[in-house]
């Protein structure tokens, strides 16, 4: 991916929309990248629209479908979606749409049957994550795709977390729209894509130019697209092997942590989840303190989401799964990447266990105000 | 290895300079901004009050400039339970709380200490104007700031030897104007930021309304305003609206200015009197702590007692009882004593300790 960016920076400087030859070379690079991204999900290249990232793709999918849907006023989703899905849905709710938010089970899975039961002739859109961003649970799509298709509802999958980690094939999944994010594949932030099966069913959200088949006006982020394409290709070629490697690392890390931290709990499904994500409840400590202490030791983990002020907040996903506020505040997410090594796992296992003991002794949870 | 210091940063110029100076001195600085007040008070988002988003951004910029890690930490539940609830219950109990003292006692030098230990910090630092010095025998002294007009040692009387040994006040030997020019020299964007004056969780300054919003209706105690002989001068909507020594806002028309002399929680009576009738001979302090606990071995010691932040310290004699209470007797009659406020004992620039005023001693 870095080589693709470097090569591109040395040779190209055009605007793909320009008519001159530099523009033609830029166009070739952009379309090459589009092909690489399309291959990752088994799509035709012309159905891929580059965006500024997963958040824009989700906004485009949701508002675009709502605008294009003539009379249908219902959207089916879940309580455990990413904020870039939840916020647009709340906005549409205020504008009169009926939003159904399905609750997950205790393992963070959305039951396909409960989704299907809500899909009716008034349904404009079904929007769900293929893999949950916090606990990694994976959605079973076939029944949902069939039910949506039967009533003519648009089926959107947010695959920002899933793509590159598990096989993602649009023909198997049966979706109409799919969100992709490049930085989850190791490319720089600021680029993503929306797969659009039928452009007639989605209204553009950005106007002012013919770019991206008229679906998203504006000079595209060419360097970002080149990096996205290269990382999508790398992910596609290495996926089988890398998934197995990361899964092995994750279970080895979990085993070692369980051995040193009594009552450590794994949130999410033991089996139907992304191989690279571990969402763990650490007994007796605040996740916030663990996160800071680990960061100071060079181990980066995440927790829920950050508020505007930059403080971490308890995960809405874990709360929806039935965890208490206290348990949600004691939970952290550990993500393994393609570049994670056996040494990293070793360091992480030792450091996390040591930091947990230190935090548990010095800042025991009972001392916090009972709330 | 460099000593690690957790610096409590508000985004104001004082804590920013404190953090920057420690960073320049080579400490392993970890900056933290504490979320304390709940967000529901919209006025708290205003710039210049404590804990607003902009203030955290100001603190974050200092960390970026000086290149040390910075985190926003959420202590709202602790602050509500230990400071805000205390503020309300004290007013309802006919006392006048000092939430800044409580915040230091309960949050900055207690709750934050746990966090500091969990993060392997050797020290906590703040931007308080006060000094910590160590004498030849190895004992730590808490002392007034060199800037008399800014001195905040009153709010820190509860610090003991153990805490002083692991606390840094980098601004103690500086004046406010020196701090501001240091901030400009360091290139800090908030060098000329105005100071926050009001209580951070009551940004509009309307304490009575704050107490009423958080208390149950049945906790509000209305009653009579009476004079020294028990004659009714008027009615009032709740004892929480009054503080001993108060003159303004009594809502009664009398020839001469009247002051609140006492508040009776049980009857709801607010007793008012003329200025020369509200003075006191001394007070009883409770929850007394001493910077050097061996002072307690004396039956009595000579001190200067400060009974409110903005009051001058008065020469007095301090007598300990067997528990954690003490009697303070002024050399000559002092002003009205306000239950709930801190009484801090000084000897010259040294803070000997302090406690919370339980009641006045009238003669």
Domain positions in chain B are 4-127+170-186, 221-277
Question: Is the CB of residue B273 less than 8 Å away from at least one CB of chain A?
Answer: no
Mention every residue, 6+ apart, whose C-beta is less than 8 A from residue A281: A264, A265, A267, A323, A327, A330, A331
pLDDT: which is higher, A366 or B286: B286
How close does chain B come to A196, measured CA to CA in Å? 39
Phi (first) and psi of residue B22, to 5 degrees: -65, -40
Mention every residue, 6+ apart, whose C-beta is less than 8 A from residue B229: none
Which range is most confident: A235-239, A317-321, B41-45, B211-215?
A: A317-321
Interface contact flag, A293 B82, Cβ < 8 Å: no
Query: What pLDDT, on a 0 to 100 scale, did the predictor assign at position A370?
Result: 42
Neighbours of A266 (CB within 10 A): 16
Query: What pLDDT, on a 0 to 100 scale, did the predictor assign at position A111?
Result: 97
Q: Are residues A218 and A123 in the same domain?
A: yes
Do residues A191 and A207 lie in contact, with contact meaning Cβ atoms separated by under 8 Å? no
Question: Which class in CATH covers the domain with range B221-277?
Answer: mainly beta
Residue in the structure block whose two tokens are 């820190």 = B156
Domain count, chain A: 2
Query: What pLDDT, on a 0 to 100 scale, did the predictor assign at position B52?
Result: 65
Full domain range(s) for residue A282 = 240-367
Model confidence at B253: pLDDT above 80: no
Query: What pLDDT, on a 0 to 100 scale, did the predictor assign at position B65?
Result: 95
Query: Can you tell me the distance from the alpha carbon of B95 to that of B97, in angstroms, rounded to the nearest whole number?
Result: 6
Q: Are residues A225 and A311 in the same domain?
A: no
Q: Are residues A48 and A171 in the same domain?
A: yes
Interface contact flag, B77 A371, Cβ < 8 Å: yes
List the single residue in B35, B56, B118 with the smallest CB-CB distance to A358.
Answer: B118
Q: Are residues A257 and A129 in the same domain?
A: no
| CATH code assigned at A321 | 3.90.1150.10
Q: Are residues A149 and A60 in the same domain?
A: yes
List the single residue in B60, B117, B119 with the smallest CB-CB distance to A292.
Answer: B119
Query: What pLDDT, on a 0 to 100 scale, did the predictor assign at position A12?
Result: 61
Chain A residues lying within 8 Å of B121, measured CB to CB: none
How close does chain A come to B89, measured CA to CA in Å? 17
Chain A residues lying within 8 Å of B56, measured CB to CB: 309-310
> Given pLDDT bands bounded at 50, 70 and 90, which one contains residue B184?
very high
Interface contact flag, A369 B115, Cβ < 8 Å: no
Chain A residues lying within 8 Å of B77, measured CB to CB: 368-369, 371
Question: Is the CB of residue B69 less than 8 Å away from at least one CB of chain A?
Answer: yes
Rounded mean pLDDT, B231-255 = 88
Which sign does the torsion angle of CA B172, B175, B178, B182 carry?
Answer: positive
Q: Which residues pair with A302 in a beta bridge?
A: A333
Note the pTM of the prediction, 2 decimals. 0.90
Model confidence at B117: pLDDT above 50: yes
Final residue of a domain: which of A212, A234, A256?
A234
Query: What pLDDT, on a 0 to 100 scale, did the predictor assign at position A306?
Result: 72
Q: Are residues A92 and A180 in the same domain?
A: yes
Q: Are residues A297 and A276 in the same domain?
A: yes
Query: What pLDDT, on a 0 to 100 scale, did the predictor assign at position B159?
Result: 96
List the single residue in A288, A359, A367 with the smallest CB-CB distance to B73.
Answer: A288
Do residues A145 and A2 lie in contact, with contact meaning Cβ atoms separated by under 8 Å? no
Interface contact flag, B119 A308, Cβ < 8 Å: no
Model confidence at B47: pLDDT above 60: no
Q: Are residues A150 and A13 in the same domain?
A: yes
Question: Is the CB of residue B253 less than 8 Å away from at least one CB of chain A?
Answer: no
Per-residue pLDDT tens digits of chain A, which is 371 residues long: 777 777 776 666 677 777 787 788 888 999 999 999 999 999 999 999 999 999 999 999 999 999 999 899 999 999 999 999 999 999 999 999 999 999 999 999 999 999 999 999 999 999 999 999 999 999 999 999 999 999 999 999 999 999 999 999 999 999 999 999 998 888 889 999 999 999 989 988 888 888 888 889 888 899 999 999 999 999 999 988 988 999 999 999 999 999 999 999 999 988 888 989 999 999 999 999 999 999 999 999 998 877 767 778 889 999 999 999 999 999 999 999 878 899 999 999 999 999 999 999 999 986 444 44
List the single residue in B53, B60, B118 with the smallest CB-CB distance to A289.
Answer: B118
Question: Is the CB of residue B73 less than 8 Å away from at least one CB of chain A?
Answer: yes
Interface contact flag, B118 A296, Cβ < 8 Å: no
Residues of B with active-site annotation: 103, 200
Instruction: Look up the CATH number of domain B4-127+170-186.
Output: 3.40.50.620
> Given pLDDT bands bounded at 50, 70 and 90, which one contains residue B190?
confident
Residues of A with active-site annotation: 307
- Chain pair A-B, CB pairs under 8 angstroms: 57
Query: What pLDDT, on a 0 to 100 scale, did the predictor assign at position B43?
Result: 43
Model confidence at B7: pLDDT above 80: yes
Q: Using CB atoms and an 8 Å cut-off, which of residues 215-234 of chain B contact chain A?
A: none
Q: Which helix (H) or strand (E) holds A1?
A: none
Q: Are residues A131 and A222 in the same domain?
A: yes
List the single residue in B35, B56, B115 with the smallest CB-CB distance to A363.
Answer: B115
Question: Is the CB of residue B333 less than 8 Å away from at least one CB of chain A?
Answer: no
Do residues A137 and A269 lie in contact, with contact meaning Cβ atoms separated by under 8 Å? yes
Interface contact flag, B77 A308, Cβ < 8 Å: no
Do residues B334 and B318 lie in contact, with contact meaning Cβ atoms separated by under 8 Å? no
Chain B residues lying within 8 Å of A309, measured CB to CB: 33, 35, 53, 56, 72
Final residue of a domain: which of A195, A215, A234?
A234
Query: Can you tell me the distance from the alpha carbon of B225 to that of B263, in angstroms, rounded to the nearest whole number?
Result: 9
Residue of A nearest to B79 (CA): A369
Q: Are residues A41 and A181 in the same domain?
A: yes
Interface contact flag, A311 B74, Cβ < 8 Å: yes
List the single residue in B30, B71, B80 with the smallest CB-CB distance to A369.
Answer: B80
Our CA angle for B334, B335, B337, nearest 5°, is 100
Residue of B nearest to A360 (CA): B118
Nearest residue to A256 (alpha-carbon basis) of A268, A267, A264: A264
Q: Give SS3 for B359.
A: strand
How close does chain B come to A52, measured CA to CA in Å? 25
Give helix B13-24 / helix B53-66 axis angle, nearest 10°: 20
Tell me the pLDDT of chain B averaged across its residues.
91
Question: Is the CB of residue B72 less than 8 Å away from at least one CB of chain A?
Answer: yes
Chain A residues lying within 8 Å of B81, measured CB to CB: 369-371
Query: What pLDDT, on a 0 to 100 scale, did the predictor assign at position A195?
Result: 98
Interface contact flag, A309 B69, Cβ < 8 Å: no
List the single residue in B60, B77, B118 with the smallest CB-CB distance to A363.
Answer: B118
Do residues A54 and A180 lie in contact, with contact meaning Cβ atoms separated by under 8 Å? yes
CA dihedral of residues B319, B87, B97, B14 (deg, nearest 10): 110
Residue in the structure block whose two tokens are 């609830």 = B85
Residue of B nearest to A361 (CA): B118
Residue in the structure block whose two tokens are 């069939």 = A146
Q: Are residues A199 and A339 in the same domain?
A: no
Query: What pLDDT, on a 0 to 100 scale, did the predictor assign at position A10?
Result: 64
Q: Are residues A200 and A54 in the same domain?
A: yes
Query: What pLDDT, on a 0 to 100 scale, did the predictor assign at position A13?
Result: 66
């Amino acid at each position: 991916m870095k080589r693709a960016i470097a090569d591109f920076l040395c040779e190209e400087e055009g605007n793909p929309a320009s008519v001159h030859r530099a523009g033609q070379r830029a166009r070739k690079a952009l379309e090459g990248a589009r092909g690489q991204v399309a291959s990752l999900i088994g799509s035709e290249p012309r159905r891929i629209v580059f965006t500024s990232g997963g958040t824009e793709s989700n906004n485009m999918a949701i508002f675009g479908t709502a605008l294009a849907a003539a009379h249908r006023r219902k959207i089916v989703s879940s309580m455990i979606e990413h904020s870039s899905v939840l916020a647009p849905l709340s906005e549409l709710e205020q504008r009169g749409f009926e939003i159904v938010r399905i609750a997950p089970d205790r393992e963070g899975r959305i039951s396909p049957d409960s989704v299907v039961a809500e899909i009716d002739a008034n349904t404009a859109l079904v929007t769900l994550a293929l893999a949950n961003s916090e606990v990694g649970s994976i959605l079973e799509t076939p029944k949902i795709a069939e039910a949506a298709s039967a009533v003519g509802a648009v089926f959107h999958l947010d695959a920002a977390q899933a793509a590159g980690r598990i096989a993602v094939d649009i023909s198997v999944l049966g979706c109409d729209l799919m969100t992709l994010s490049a930085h989850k594949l190791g490319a720089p932030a600021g680029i993503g894509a929306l797969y659009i099966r039928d452009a007639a069913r989605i209204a553009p959200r950005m106007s002012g130019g013919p770019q991206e088949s008229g679906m998203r006006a504006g000079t595209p982020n060419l360097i970002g697209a080149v990096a996205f394409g290269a990382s999508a290709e790398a992910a596609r070629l290495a996926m089988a092997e890398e998934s197995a490697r990361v899964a092995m690392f994750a279970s080895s890390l979990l085993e070692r942590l369980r051995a040193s931290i009594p009552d450590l709990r794994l949130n999410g499904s033991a089996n139907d989840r992304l191989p690279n994500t571990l969402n763990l409840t650490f007994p007796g400590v605040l996740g916030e303190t663990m996160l800071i202490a680990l960061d100071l030791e060079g181990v980066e983990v995440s927790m829920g989401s950050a508020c505007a002020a930059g403080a971490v907040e308890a995960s809405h996903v874990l709360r929806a799964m039935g965890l208490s506020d206290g348990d949600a505040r004691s939970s952290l997410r550990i993500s393994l990447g393609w570049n994670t090594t056996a040494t990293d796992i070793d360091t992480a296992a030792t450091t996390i266990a040591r930091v947990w003991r230190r935090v548990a002794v010095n800042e025991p949870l009972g001392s916090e105000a009972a709330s | 290895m460099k000593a690690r210091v957790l610096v409590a940063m508000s985004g104001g110029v004082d804590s920013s300079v404190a953090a920057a100076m420690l960073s320049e001195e080579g400490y392993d600085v970890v900056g933290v901004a504490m979320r304390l007040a709940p967000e529901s008070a919209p006025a708290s988002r205003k710039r210049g009050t404590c804990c607003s988003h902009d203030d955290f951004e100001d603190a974050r910029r200092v960390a970026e400039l000086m290149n040390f890690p910075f985190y926003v930490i959420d202590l709202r539940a602790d602050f509500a339970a230990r400071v805000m609830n205390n503020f309300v219950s004290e007013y309802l109990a006919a006392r006048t709380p000092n939430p800044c003292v409580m915040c230091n006692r309960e949050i900055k030098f207690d709750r934050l200490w746990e966090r500091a230990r969990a993060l392997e910090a050797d020290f906590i630092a703040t931007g308080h104007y006060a000094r910590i010095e160590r004498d030849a025998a190895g004992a730590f002294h808490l002392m007034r700031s060199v800037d008399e007009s800014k001195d905040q040692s009153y709010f820190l009387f509860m610090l003991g030897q153990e805490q002083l040994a692991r606390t840094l006040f980098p601004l103690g030997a500086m004046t406010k104007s020196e701090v501001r020019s240091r901030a400009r020299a360091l290139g800090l964007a908030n060098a000329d930021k105005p100071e926050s004056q009001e209580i951070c969780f009551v940004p509009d300054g309307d304490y009575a309304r704050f107490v009423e919003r958080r208390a149950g209706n049945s906790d509000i105690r209305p009653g009579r305003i009476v004079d020294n002989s028990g004659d009714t001068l008027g009615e009032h909507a709740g004892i929480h609206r009054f503080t001993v020594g108060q003159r303004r806002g009594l809502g009664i028309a009398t020839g001469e200015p009247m002051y609140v002399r006492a508040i009776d929680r049980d009857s709801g009576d607010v007793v008012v009197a003329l200025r020369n009738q509200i003075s006191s001979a001394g007070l009883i302090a409770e929850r007394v702590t001493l910077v050097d606990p061996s002072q307690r071995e004396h039956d009595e010691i000579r001190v200067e007692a400060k009974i409110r932040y903005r009051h001058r310290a008065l020469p007095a004699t301090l007598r300990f009882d067997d528990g954690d209470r003490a009697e303070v007797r002024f050399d000559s009659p002092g002003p009205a004593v306000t239950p709930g406020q801190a009484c801090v004992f000084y000897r010259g620039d040294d803070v000997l300790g302090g406690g919370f005023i339980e009641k006045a001693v009238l003669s």
